[in-house]
Amino acid sequence: MDDRIRELVEQVPAWLRTTGEYPEIVLSSRARLARNLRPFRFALKATDQDREEIRTFVLDRLRLHPRLAALHQLELEGLGEAERRVLVERHLVTRDLLKHPDYALVLYEPDESVALLVNEEDHLRVQVLANGLALSTVARRILDLGEILGLLLPLAYREEFGYLTSCPTNTGLGLRFSVLMHLPGLVLAKRLPELVKLLARARLSIRGLYGEGSDIVGNIFQISTTRNLGITEEELLAHFQDTVRQIIQMEQEARQHLEQETPDLVEDRIHRARALLENARLISFEETARLVSALRLGVGLGRIFDVKLQTLNELLFFAQPGHLQVLFGHDMDPQERDRRRAAYIRTKLQSGEA
Amino acid sequence: MLCERCKVRPATQKVVEVTAGGRREWHLCDECALEVAYGLVPPEPEEPEKPETPEAPPPGAELRCPTCGLTYAEFLKVLRFGCSDCYQAFRENLKVVFQELHGSAQYLGQPYKPDPQKARLVHELEHLQARLETAVLNEDFERAAALRDEIQKILENLGWTIASGN
């Protein structure tokens, strides 16, 4: 077991805390930069030798900046499958990076608020994560990091198109803001089509947290910006903030409406979810996410007082397959996973931590 | 690859459709996948697929990047560039692509122009760092201490000391 991975699974990442703005609706805010080095071919055409040189070159240059030099460092090649999965589940690494782990590297702040991926789809991906609604904060931090990288490294850039990236969707600013939102109100009120239309007009993208099939689990959605040309950094941020606030308001209205129109139904759903989580002996991740969503709604509506939002965030997080396997120290078949997961949830909800 | 439904955005999700006729996989973009998952739309393409007659190659299909060898036709298929020179090689055709993806083909962000004074400091920093390593190797600790002081001063000028929060 890699020590760094063990360290990770034993801590709660800073962005999962519930001390931010609108924690009952916005789980986290994220900003991401895509950058490439002028002299090297992109991932599609890069050879192993290119990838090795990129890694050496980047590490060599980052050492000049004390804060970047102090980042924790993990190489993907030596890790087992469950360990790699942990990194994906913690949003430190993208699934993409797992497909080509050769010479891939993740550098991160110990509290996981900043991560730098080397040799992903782009030579460099930088992300800043914060809990709750904190888009201005993540924007400021990512732009600072962008300036530092621009000083340390020769970046691929053209005046007319901006930063040159592997995928044309990122060309230009190479910048993406996103939020992870819990939207059970809009889902229950069947207002999702309305949301999808609103987002399409604002050129934002939405994706669900997918389980094994195509169903969205836990009513958790990632909403992101997509434009990188024809817009300034400030405009992109301001538009996104406006739309996210609008969605928060829609969700709040939907929750209020549900409570007024179908109070018994809502109450029943919340308490059934709690009973199942507290008593199940076998539980899949999909079911966990669905039930945690209902309980989260209960906490948000003030119907549940003795369970903390933070506990629910942690449940959702540590009940993921990779985390469970690393926490319990071995690979498991699905049934053992479901049993361990159920036991973990029961303990967590019964202990004082709840 | 492009989303099989809207044929505009890149495919990022695999959606499995199970019907009486069997199982079929669709490669969709986030938006289409979400709408399909919620049963808002069927996974079938928005327009019926054109019959597989030998399709006319897209304009510029034969363009080839001199640096990495990627052709424009390959680029359209995988929607990935091979290197930064592809942007020059496909320049004329890209404007339409960007217009479609971003609603514009014009970069309006902050220009990438590292502050020359800061760039000079970084250069100096690199130089001092190399000298520091040599001094440490030679166990010339007096010299190493002096170099560390110089490095610290430059870091302060750049605002890169750990305490300054960058």
Does residue B4 sit in the same domain as residue B39? Answer: yes
Is A69 within 8 Å of chain B by CB? no
DSSP per residue, A57-78 = HHHHHHTTSHHHHTSEEEESTT
Neighbours of A53 (CB within 10 A): 16
Q: What is the pLDDT of residue A329?
A: 80
Does residue B99 sit in the same domain as residue B63? Answer: yes
CB contact under 8 A, A203 and B166: no
Query: Measured between CB atoms, which of A38, A167, A228 is closest to B84?
Result: A38
CB contact under 8 A, B160 and A207: no
Is B144 within 8 Å of chain A by CB? no
Does residue B101 sit in the same domain as residue B63? Answer: yes
Q: What is the pLDDT of residue A354?
A: 45
Residue A219, min C-alpha distance to chain B (Å): 11
Q: What is the pLDDT of residue B165?
A: 45
Does residue B125 sit in the same domain as residue B98? Answer: no
Is A192 within 8 Å of chain B by CB? yes
Does residue B41 sit in the same domain as residue B63? Answer: no
Residue range(s) defining the domain that contains residue B152: 116-158
Where residue A46 falls (left for φ over 0; alpha for ψ -120 to 50; beta otherwise) is beta
CB contact under 8 A, B69 and A64: no
Residue B145, min C-alpha distance to chain A (Å): 17
Is A225 within 8 Å of chain B by CB? no
Q: Is residue B163 part of a domain?
A: no
Q: Is residue B164 part of a domain?
A: no
Domain boundaries, chain A: 3-181+207-225, 262-350
pLDDT digits (tens, 9 = 90+) for A61-87: 999 999 999 999 999 888 888 888 899
Distance, in Å, from the CA atom of B24 to the CA atom of A83, rounded to the nearest integer, reads 31
Average pLDDT over residues A161-179: 97
Is A60 within 8 Å of chain B by CB? no
Q: Chain A contacts of B87, Cβ < 8 Å?
A: 158, 161, 164, 171
Q: What is the pLDDT of residue A111?
A: 93
Average pLDDT over residues B149-159: 94
CB contact under 8 A, B112 and A150: yes
Query: Picking from A115-129, A306-320, B143-157, which range would have the lowest pLDDT averaged per residue?
Result: A306-320
Residue B48 pLDDT more than 60? no
DSSP B162: G
Is B37 within 8 Å of chain A by CB? yes
Task: Say which residues have a Cβ less than 8 Å from residue B52's Cβ, sequence separation at least 6.
Answer: none
Does residue B1 sit in the same domain as residue B35? Answer: yes
Neighbours of A148 (CB within 10 A): 23
Residue A214, min C-alpha distance to chain B (Å): 6
Task: Say which residues have a Cβ less than 8 Å from residue A186's Cβ, sequence separation at least 6.
Answer: A192, A194, A195, A250, A251, A254
CB contact under 8 A, A229 and B35: no
Residue B48, min C-alpha distance to chain A (Å): 23
Residue B5, min C-alpha distance to chain A (Å): 15
Does residue B122 sit in the same domain as residue B153? Answer: yes
Considering the domain delimited by A3-181+207-225, tell me its CATH architecture.
Answer: 2-Layer Sandwich (3.30)
Q: What is the pLDDT of residue B21?
A: 64
Q: Is residue B122 part of a domain?
A: yes
Query: Picking from A127-131, A143-147, A313-317, which range would have the lowest pLDDT averaged per residue?
Result: A313-317
Neighbours of B19 (CB within 10 A): 7
Instruction: Tell me if B112 sits within 8 A of A163, measured CB to CB.
Output: yes
Q: How would residue B57 be classed by pLDDT, with cut points 50, 70 and 90?
A: confident
Of the three residues B93, B109, B125, the one that is the final residue of a domain is: B109
Is B84 within 8 Å of chain A by CB? yes
Query: Measured between CB atoms, which of A43, A173, A193 is closest to B109?
Result: A173
Q: Chain A contacts of B129, Cβ < 8 Å?
A: 63-64
Distance, in Å, from the CA atom of A341 to the CA atom of A321, rounded to the nearest integer, reads 9
Token couple for A203:
């050129």
Q: How would residue B166 be classed by pLDDT, with cut points 50, 70 and 90?
A: very low
Distance, in Å, from the CA atom of B98 to the CA atom of A24, rounded to the nearest integer, reads 37
Instruction: Tell me if B150 sits within 8 A of B158, measured CB to CB.
Output: no
Task: State what percent of residues in chain A have pLDDT above 90.
Answer: 70
Distance, in Å, from the CA atom of A242 to the CA atom of B114, rounded to the nearest integer, reads 31
CB contact under 8 A, B107 and A172: yes
Quote the pTM value: 0.88
Residue B56, min C-alpha distance to chain A (Å): 23
Q: Is residue B126 part of a domain?
A: yes
Instruction: Tell me if A161 sits within 8 A of B98, measured CB to CB.
Output: yes
Is A34 within 8 Å of chain B by CB? no
Q: What is the pLDDT of residue B46?
A: 64
Residue A205 pLDDT more than 80? yes
Q: Which of B3, B34, B97, B148 should be substituted to probe chain A, the one whose Cβ sees the most A Cβ atoms within 10 Å? A: B34
- Mean confidence (pLDDT) of chain A: 91
CB contact under 8 A, B82 and A45: yes
